[in-house]
């Protein structure tokens, strides 16, 4: 157990070091920072002085180490485009993304598990089949298209919900929230559905498959033979045993929700970090790109680590399997 | 006149390639699955329409000489109020025929999709074969890179690669290079799937007797990998390639929609949807809806074909 945890943590650190390396290389290879900072009228002496000041005359790995030190303190320099510290901009934008991700994650989880159970129990029912077919359409429909179609229906045609922005937000210390105002909540609905729909279909299909698998097991048949009510079998005996893989996948999906938020935020002009990143890519704003990359990799690696450990804690059988199969 | 007279070389005991294909299990499973047949027809029609776009399209949307600004915003199925010209799916703000722009846009979408998958496939298969067959530290390095990349969603990796490539290419070439950068970005974000599956299959195959026999016969490692192991792992590779194709087309559309893909001078389906979104609020729905439906039809039918192929080639999964 301990060896496993140590190995997983070491692996996570390796991932962070590699992404840090990628982020650092972006600075070194994409454009010369000296060009970005000094104007047209510069002397060779100016360049040399700045180069020394910034530590650019140091060996590659010394620079890499210094970058990691700075990054660990959340210092990524100034945005090329906005001229403000990248960390300030990120912190300002983060609440919007986290709120959106939280609501759509919740939606995906509740909707996915509910529909998954339904389609598994009513395997041959008409409505279950309709839902399954629709879910395939949902998987094929790109996120941005879902967003646009929702805007078209609910904002343009029906005029019920706003098509862009966060609505009115309330400041709570360093955090801005849209949960407390009516327009903030209204503005949240469409983006949350857009972002959550894909994950919801994934969770739904997963729950259904797992549930069908479990319902075939002997102990379920035995429970039926004992005359236990169908309801108790489905929810008490079967559902419990399907939740392990669901937790894992959902945890991992949390990471992709944050990544797919880039698309949703662009469609709805939602002022979060995803929109910031896509603008940075468009304008080649390297510090913002690097900082976003580092931030998101810390999140992903953290989530993966927690999910792995959780998985390990929930299912004792895995402790044996994993160490036996442990090729890497 | 009998079959044998038409093909004198064919051995009568051995059926021709064509009839073997028609009588194969795969084709039988295809014929008995209406969803697969319909999706295949849709995919074929769309691909043919895209390939022969210059012949099929009623207008050349990228030749300014043929455009008439007076034709702008013609609704679908109606004649234009000023010029009396007729457009099946209407026109956009510059008077470009939406039907024609979709055909040309689909060409770019399909080209990027196929090229990216091909690139990912070649890269993934080669690295997977090497990792599985050679093993040791080579395998550790390749698979560790794959693991790390898999931590991040493919679309994010593709965006990042696109951003870096944009920073490296000089501004004058950016529009020209955009399509190729897109192919490399999507391809690099997708090779991991191929590498993992091929490595897994190679690990199994390499201990089989035929590989041992080939080794004893003095075949080089290169030739064993390419001529003996590869054909046996090709089934799984094909299934992943089909599913990857749908994903690649969606990824391309997404990137182009976000403005980090195909440039407006060479619009793909994603670029067209992004242009159409601008007219959604003013009521010109056709500029948005028709490219969107085309993209949906393309992605959905390729997905359905992939589903069928996976079940047909791997009966164990069912």
Q: Are B262 and B108 in contact (CB under 8 A)?
A: yes
Q: Do A136 and B168 touch (CB under 8 A)?
A: no
B274-311 pLDDT, tens digit per residue, is 888 878 777 777 778 888 888 888 888 888 888 788 77
Chain B residue closest to A24 (CA)?
A: B164
Closest CA of chain B from A98, distance in Å? 18
Closest CA of chain B from A62, distance in Å? 23
Q: Are A192 and A198 in contact (CB under 8 A)?
A: no
- Does residue A160 form part of some domain? yes
Output the CA angle B232-B186-A297, nearest 5 degrees.
105
- Tell me, yes or no, if A301 comes closer than 8 A to chain B by beta carbon: yes
Smallest Cβ–Cβ distance between B166 and the set A11, A255, A284 belongs to A284
pLDDT at A156 over 80: no
Closest CA of chain A from B25, distance in Å? 26
pLDDT at B15 over 90: no
Strands (E), chain B: none
A196-217 pLDDT, tens digit per residue, is 888 888 888 888 888 888 777 7
Over residues B10-21, mean pLDDT: 63
- Tell me, yes or no, if A306 comes closer than 8 A to chain B by beta carbon: no
Q: Report chain B residues whose CB lies below 8 A from the CB of A259.
A: 152-153, 155-156
| Conformational region of residue A92, where left means phi above 0, alpha means psi within -120 to 50, and beta covers everything else | alpha
- Does residue A132 form part of some domain? yes
Report the alpha-carbon distance of residue B14 to residue B20 in Å, rounded.
Answer: 9
Instruction: Supply the CATH classification number for the domain B95-312.
Output: 1.10.3720.10
Q: Are B228 and B209 in contact (CB under 8 A)?
A: no
Q: Report chain A residues whose CB lies below 8 A from the CB of B152.
A: 259, 296-297, 300
Task: Provide the 10 A C-beta neighbour count for residue A73.
Answer: 9
Going from N- to C-terminal start, the domains of chain B cover 95-312
Which of A233-237, A255-259, B90-94 shows the lowest per-residue confidence on average (mean pLDDT)? B90-94
Q: Could you give the number of structural domains in chain A?
A: 1
Instruction: Give the residue among B180, B185, B195 at the shortest CA–CA distance from B121.
Output: B195
Element holding A246 (H helix, E strand): helix A239-268
pLDDT value for B81: 63
Report the alpha-carbon distance of residue A209 to residue A212 in Å, rounded.
Answer: 5
| A166 against B200, higher pLDDT | B200
Residue identified by tokens 């457009």 is B87
Q: Do A259 and B153 touch (CB under 8 A)?
A: yes
Chain A residue closest to B292 (CA)?
A: A145
Chain B residue closest to A13 (CA)?
A: B148
The domain that contains A290 carries what CATH number? 1.10.3720.10
Report the alpha-carbon distance of residue B273 to residue A169 in Å, rounded.
Answer: 31
- Tell me, yes or no, if A104 comes closer than 8 A to chain B by beta carbon: no
For chain B, the residues whose C-beta falls within 8 A of a C-beta of chain A are 140, 143-144, 147-148, 151-153, 155-156, 159-160, 162-164, 166-168, 246, 250, 253-254, 257-260, 273, 277, 280-281, 285, 288, 292, 295-296, 299-300, 303-304, 307
- Does residue A40 form part of some domain? no
B131-167 pLDDT, tens digit per residue, is 988 888 888 888 888 888 877 788 888 888 887 887 7
Q: Report chain A residues whose CB lies below 8 A from the CB of B143.
A: 328
pTM (predicted TM-score): 0.79
Cβ neighbors of A44 (< 8 A, separation 6 or more) are none
Q: Report chain B residues whose CB lies below 8 A from the CB of A137.
A: 296, 300
Task: Provide the 10 A C-beta neighbour count for residue A231.
Answer: 9
- Does residue A240 form part of some domain? yes
Alpha helices in A122-238 (DSSP H): 126-140, 143-150, 182-215, 218-225, 230-232
Q: Do A156 and B280 touch (CB under 8 A)?
A: yes
Task: Provide the 10 A C-beta neighbour count for residue B109.
Answer: 32
B96-130 pLDDT, tens digit per residue, is 777 888 888 888 899 999 999 999 999 999 999 99
- Does residue A202 form part of some domain? yes
Report the alpha-carbon distance of residue A175 to residue A97 in Å, rounded.
Answer: 12
ipTM over 0.90: no
Pull the structure tokens for residue A62.
Answer: 């010394």
Residue A114, domain extent: 86-327
Smallest Cβ–Cβ distance between B163 and the set A19, A284, A297 belongs to A284
């Amino acid at each position: 157990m301990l060896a496993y945890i140590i190995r997983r943590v070491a692996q996570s650190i390796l991932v962070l070091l590699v992404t840090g390396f990628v982020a650092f290389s972006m600075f070194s290879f994409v454009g010369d920072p000296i060009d970005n900072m000094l104007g047209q009228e510069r002397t060779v002496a100016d360049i040399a002085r700045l180069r020394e000041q910034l530590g650019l005359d140091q060996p590659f790995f010394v620079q890499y180490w210094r970058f990691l030190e700075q990054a660990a303190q959340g210092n990524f320099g100034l945005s090329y485009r906005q001229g403000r510290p990248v960390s300030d901009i990120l912190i300002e934008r983060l609440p919007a993304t986290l709120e959106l991700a939280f609501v759509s994650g919740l939606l995906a989880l509740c909707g996915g598990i509910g529909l998954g159970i339904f389609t598994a129990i009513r395997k041959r029912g008409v409505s279950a089949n309709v839902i399954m077919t629709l879910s395939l359409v949902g998987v094929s429909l790109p996120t941005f298209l879902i967003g646009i179609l929702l805007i078209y229906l609910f904002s343009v045609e029906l005029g019920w919900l706003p098509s862009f922005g966060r609505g009115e937000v309330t400041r709570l210390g360093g955090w801005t929230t849209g949960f407390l105002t009516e327009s903030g909540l209204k503005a949240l609905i469409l983006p949350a559905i857009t972002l959550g729909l894909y994950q919801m279909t994934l969770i739904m299909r997963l729950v259904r498959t797992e549930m069908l698998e479990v319902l075939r097991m002997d102990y379920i048949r035995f429970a039926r033979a004992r005359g236990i009510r169908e309801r108790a079998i489905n929810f008490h005996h079967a559902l419990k045993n399907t939740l392990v893989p669901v937790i894992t996948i959902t945890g991992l999906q949390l990471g992709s929700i944050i990544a797919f938020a880039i698309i949703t935020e662009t469609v709805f002009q939602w002022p979060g970090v995803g929109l910031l990143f896509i603008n940075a890519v468009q304008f080649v704003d390297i510090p913002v790109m690097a900082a976003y990359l580092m931030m998101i990799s810390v999140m992903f690696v953290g989530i993966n680590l927690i999910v792995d450990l959780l998985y390990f804690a929930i299912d004792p059988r895995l402790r044996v399997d994993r160490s036996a199969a442990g090729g890497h | 006149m009998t079959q044998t007279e038409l093909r004198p070389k064919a051995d009568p005991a051995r059926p021709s390639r064509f009839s073997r294909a028609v009588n194969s299990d795969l084709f039988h499973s295809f014929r008995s699955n209406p969803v697969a047949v319909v999706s295949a027809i849709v995919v074929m029609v769309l691909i043919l329409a895209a390939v022969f776009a210059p012949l099929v399209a009623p207008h050349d949307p990228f030749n300014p000489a043929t455009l008439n600004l007076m034709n702008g915003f013609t609704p679908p199925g109606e004649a234009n109020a000023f010029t009396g010209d007729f457009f099946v799916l209407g026109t956009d703000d510059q008077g470009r025929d939406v039907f024609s722009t979709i055909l040309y846009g689909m060409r770019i979408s399909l080209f990027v999709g196929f090229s990216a998958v091909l690139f990912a496939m070649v890269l993934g298969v080669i690295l997977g074969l090497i990792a599985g067959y050679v093993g040791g530290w080579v395998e550790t390095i390749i698979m560790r890179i794959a693991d790390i990349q898999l931590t991040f969603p493919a679309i994010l990796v593709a965006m990042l690669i696109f951003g870096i490539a944009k920073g490296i290419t000089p501004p004058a070439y950016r529009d020209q290079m955009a399509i190729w950068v897109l192919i490399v970005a999507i391809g690099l974000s997708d090779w991991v799937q191929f590498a993992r599956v091929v490595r897994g299959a190679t690990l199994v195959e390499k201990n089989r007797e035929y590989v041992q026999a080939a080794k004893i016969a003095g075949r080089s490692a290169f030739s064993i990998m390419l001529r003996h192991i590869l054909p046996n792992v090709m089934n799984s590779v094909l299934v992943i390639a089909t599913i990857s194709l749908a994903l690649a087309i969606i990824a391309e559309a997404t990137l182009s929609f976000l403005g980090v893909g195909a440039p407006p001078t060479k619009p793909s389906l994603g670029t067209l949807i992004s242009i159409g979104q601008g007219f959604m609020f003013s009521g010109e729905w056709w500029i948005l809806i028709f490219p969107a439906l085309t993209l949906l039809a393309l992605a959905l039918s390729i997905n359905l074909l992939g589903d069928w192929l996976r079940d047909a080639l791997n009966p164990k999964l069912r």
